[in-house]
Structure 1
């Protein structure tokens, strides 16, 4: 069962990555182009030549973007499938489709949105290249803190419910877990250092267009992943094949029937 869920998670993630690439190309990439133009203008004004392009920009924002988001989506989909297999009956409950959608929404908030609020993304052409490693390390640290906080908050809420089962409803337990999670990540966000490296004259509209595009790309990724995996999990646990498997099976049966009818009158 876990293997079947994993395969479906990989496929759903790859599909979600393609949809995310389309959104990023339409919404975020124009802001990236504007940021690159800003940096190029600054370098020209300073009399310095920019670094030559190793990969043409037109290829980066089309085939490169689609490849990167598809591979990333497949990896996220595999991890999502494993998380679903571990948490469905223990924590999420309900039908597999509803549980998958709930898990996708929770993962979007925990894995992306909360860390993003602390360390929002900047256009790749802007900022100090020497600080990339530090920014990446802090962002990944915030992701792990957010994940650990969600697990700790859920377990603490479960322990409280077991102890005071008659005083705390399931909805109260979920609220308690959410409040505990919020308290932990808020404390972590205050403790971790801030990063401010954008030039003062950088266009605010370009910055916010890029950040909105980043949030939207992740929202599309997790929404499509949740919906596709929900459908796949429902079909798997109901003993039905995926829709393209059903189409292939019907096509195969139609082909066999046609061959049989053609050969039926022969010797």
Structure 2
């Protein structure tokens, strides 16, 4: 339908923009659920939420099923790979939320530092079990240049870091402005 040139220029930019807006909306929902419960500033909550979403929605799933360049993988495995990847994203996000809730529950008994370490350990062990249960997929042809694959995966990671950092910082600044204005008007 579109040429490769259009896909790699306008299409890629539009795709990143649409993805970023969708993830920003998801961050807004999570922020609203977390902000009142956390004893942190709006900027800190937005930054921590964006960081947690980057880890749980992209970095950890990419460790098991890393991104590949278009048209490199076997076409007959695309449905299986997509379903397994989406399952892993859902499990990772759910287990991440569970670990955060565990931290909140353990904080009164263990303190912030030890509860945080327990939550991190819980998430790491839980994800290790998930990684062992889910099948590995090795569909990239051995003849594909390893340097190209490495560069693609590195650029994919860089793109996600930029997207999530931008979402977290911009949302945090805007949320802080709105919430500080509300606080000032309530105090007056």
Q: TM-score, normalised by structure 1?
A: 0.66
Which residue is 2:83 aligned to? Answer: 137
Normalization by structure 2: what TM-score? 0.92
Q: Deviations over 1:219-244 (max 9, x none)?
A: 1100110110011011111128xxxx
2:92 counterpart of 1:146:
yes
C-alpha distance in 2 between matches for 1:72 and 1:128: 25
State the shift of 1:102 in Å.
1.1
How many angstroms apart in 2 are the aligned matches of 1:97 and 1:157?
Answer: 20
Gap runs ≥5 in structure 1: 1-53, 241-267
Offset of residue 161 of structure 1: 3.8
Say whether 1:107 aligns with 2:49. Answer: no
Structure 2 segments unaligned to the other structure (5+ residues): 183-188
Aligned ranges for residues 14-25 of structure 1 at < 5 Å?
A: none
Q: CA deviation at 1:108?
A: 0.5
Find the counterpart in structure 2 of residue 185 from structure 1: 127
Moved segments of 4+, more than 4 Å: none
Distance 1:224 1:151 in 2: 22
Q: C-alpha separation between the residues in 1 aligned to 2:45 and 2:124?
A: 22
**Count of equivalent residues:** 182
Matches within 5 A, 1:208-227: 208-227=150-169
1:44-65 per-residue CA deviation (whole Å, 9 max, x = no partner) reads: xxxxxxxxxx311111111111
Q: Hey, what's the Cα distance between the residues in 1 that align with 2:72 and 2:39?
A: 44
Residue 106 of structure 2 aligns with which residue? 160
Residue 56 in 1 paired to residue 10 in 2?
Answer: no
Deviations 1:103-156 (A, max 9, x none): 111110011100000100111110111211110101111111111111222223
Match of 1:76 in 2: 23
Q: CA RMSD in A?
A: 1.3
Indicate the residue corresponding to 2:114 in structure 1.
172
1:170: how far off?
A: 1.2
